[in-house]
Amino acid sequence: MNHPQQVRYLLRLDDACPTMDLNAWTRIEALLDRHGVSPLVAVIPDNRDPTLCRAPADPDFWARVRTWRDRGWELALHGHHHLKLTREAGLVPFNRASEFAGLPLGLQRSKLAAGLTVFRTEGLEPRLFVAPWHSLDHVTLAALRQVTPIRCISDGLALRPFSRCGFRWLPQQTWTPTPRTWGFWTICLHPDNLGPRDLEALDSFLHEHSAAVLGSLDELLTGALPSSRGPLDYALGALILARRARERGKHAR
Ligand SMILES: [Zn+2]
């Protein structure tokens, strides 16, 4: 391999659903294709979140998701309806809002099973779970175990993938394409909200770093992972949470 081993990036595209902004997604698809990069896409199985209704529902949406799968893009089950049902922050405390954390096991099970059924009806099998607003709890993990084969979560604050509670966690710590010196970084992007400048920034980032972007998650989904996080992971987590809290304070003013 012709790139340094110490840093790896995963690109994650959030909030794919039939009412997404098709032009925005087409632009980012073209950009990623140009750089030969495959992202993880968080697909909402049955969106009811009005803020994600950017266009009339696309009847070809699921056919498009299958083309993503066919070109090697990884798919994640992104909740169920993408609705804020509780004010629980859960295990990854970015937001006090959740579609799952705080709900009883039976309800979490039925929501996950319903979401998975939508994928399977469309001939698709998600290998990861992405909780809306990063919020999931131990009950969500139990429900995932009971009604899905999914054993990997794209979330968590750490510098490398780790295993916890019988699940693989691929940490997700950043929302901008910023070069790093080492570690595993998931860059979460919301294509509906990316302006021309954001796309330019992503383009120049990929120009330099596309070789360090993971093409396939196979190894991470099957290989051995460290079972604990160390002091550096916790320090990074505290830093990111503090920065997010500061940014939120700024916006509130
Ligand atoms: Zn979302």
Burial class (CB in 10 A: 0-12, 13-18, 19+), 198: middle
CA of 144 to the centre of ligand 1 (A): 18
CA of 82 to the centre of ligand 1 (A): 6
CA of 48 to the centre of ligand 1 (A): 11
Q: What is the DSSP letter of 212?
A: G
**CA-based nearest residue to 26, from 2, 56, 61:** 61
Distance CA 133, CA 86 (A): 11
Terminal-to-terminal C-alpha distance of the chain: 48
Q: What is the pLDDT of residue 94?
A: 78
Q: What is the pLDDT of residue 5?
A: 56
What is the reported pTM? 0.92
184-215 pLDDT tens trace: 999 999 999 999 999 999 999 999 999 999 98
Written in H, E and C, the secondary structure of 180-210 is CCCEEEEEEECHHHCCHHHHHHHHHHHHHHH
Q: What is the pLDDT of residue 79?
A: 97
Q: What is the pLDDT of residue 227?
A: 77
The rounded average pLDDT for each run of 10 residues, N- to C-terminus, in the chain (253 residues) is: 69 98 96 96 97 96 98 97 91 86 97 98 98 95 98 93 93 94 95 95 97 91 82 86 80 51
CA of 230 to the centre of ligand 1 (A): 28
CA of 54 to the centre of ligand 1 (A): 14
199 CB-side CA count, 13 A: 17
58 CB-side CA count, 13 A: 18
Q: What is the DSSP letter of 58?
A: P
CA of 123 to the centre of ligand 1 (A): 22
Rg of the chain, C-alpha, whole Å: 17
CA of 126 to the centre of ligand 1 (A): 16
33: left (phi over 0), alpha (psi -120 to 50) or beta: alpha
CA of 3 to the centre of ligand 1 (A): 32
All domains of the chain in start order, with CATH: 7-252 (3.20.20.370)
CA of 43 to the centre of ligand 1 (A): 8
Q: What is the pLDDT of residue 234?
A: 85
Q: What is the pLDDT of residue 2?
A: 40
User: Tokens for 51?
Assistant: 């803020």
**Helix ranges (DSSP H) in the chain:** 22-35, 61-70, 105-121, 138-147, 196-209, 218-222, 231-252
